Structure 1
Amino acid sequence: MSSEHRKELRQRVFLKGRITFNNGASSMDCLVRDMSGAGARLSLSETTSLPDVFDLYVPQKDKTFRSTLRWRREDGVGVTFPDETAAPAEPPADASITLLLRRVAELESENATLRRLLAGMAQPAADAATAA
């Protein structure tokens, strides 16, 4: 007897993902570990702040999946893609704006990380100059 509850087998993958919610105001990175047309298993560092419904963007597939939370564990979550079984709909007119806003948020995050790294590198140099 199998403990498999899925209608489709999930393929093992290792893809970068970006979860967005609160109308794009909140986001977090994740790894997509198993995936099928109907759902996925996501690995992420914090699962407690994740809402029941969110968007999952997978850059390598250049696709955003509307995701519904099915289970939650300390190190990850299981989601279904309820819209994937429906007929594909036309993307909303503001989809390109949403994608641009998402990309701007990603770039701002990368920029902040780089600024912190530069500040950390500049401090030892300033200390060495003061000591000399």
Structure 2
Amino acid sequence: MSENRKEARQRVFLKGRIIFNNNASSMDCLVRDLSPAGARLALSETTTLPEMFDLYIPQKERTYRAHMRWRRPDGIGITFVDDSARPEPAAAAPPPPAEDASIAVLLRRVSELEAENATLRRLLATMAQGGTPASAA
């Protein structure tokens, strides 16, 4: 398969939230590849998505305006639209559970791993400062 991208995408495993219909509709997704120009998203269902939508990635604390480039049964490819004048939406209430059980399991696991990474970062920071780490409970 030939590569048509201008920039290589970095493989990632981030949870994301697709927001559309004037912030009235949303769905969970997993960001699987990411570059400054676009991403590949894993979804349980792609038939209800519009061509343009917002992609919120909590770990990056950023919302991207996205344009759908391709669609497959298990996901989509998107390019980011340069829309820097658009204000960042306020943090919304916690998202509803994912429609698909496998996506829900993956999103839960991503959350667990993010929490574990944060704990390990704090432990490393304590050790780097010469302190003794608190006992892990």
Gaps spanning 5+ residues in structure 1: where? 111-132
> RMSD in angstroms over aligned alpha carbons?
1.7
Structure 1 counterpart of 2:65: 66
Note the C-alpha offset of 1:46: 0.2
Gaps spanning 5+ residues in structure 2: where? 98-137
Q: TM-score, normalised by structure 1?
A: 0.68
Note the C-alpha offset of 1:99: 1.9
CA displacement, residues 83-107 of structure 1 (integer Å, 9 cap, x when unaligned): 1xx7x43x53xx4xx324xx2262x
Note the C-alpha offset of 1:3: 0.5
Identity of aligned residues (%): 64
Greater helix percent: which structure? 1
2:3 corresponds to which letter in structure 1?
A: E
2:62 corresponds to which letter in structure 1?
A: K
Aligned partners of 2:90 and 2:20: how far apart in 1?
13
2:38 is aligned with 1:47: no
Q: TM-score, normalised by structure 2?
A: 0.66
2:94 is aligned with 1:99: no
Note the C-alpha offset of 1:82: 2.2
CA displacement, residues 89-127 of structure 1 (integer Å, 9 cap, x when unaligned): 3x53xx4xx324xx2262xx36xxxxxxxxxxxxxxxxx
- Number of residue pairs matched? 97
Asked whether the 8 Å contact 2:64–2:81 carries over to 1, the reply is: no
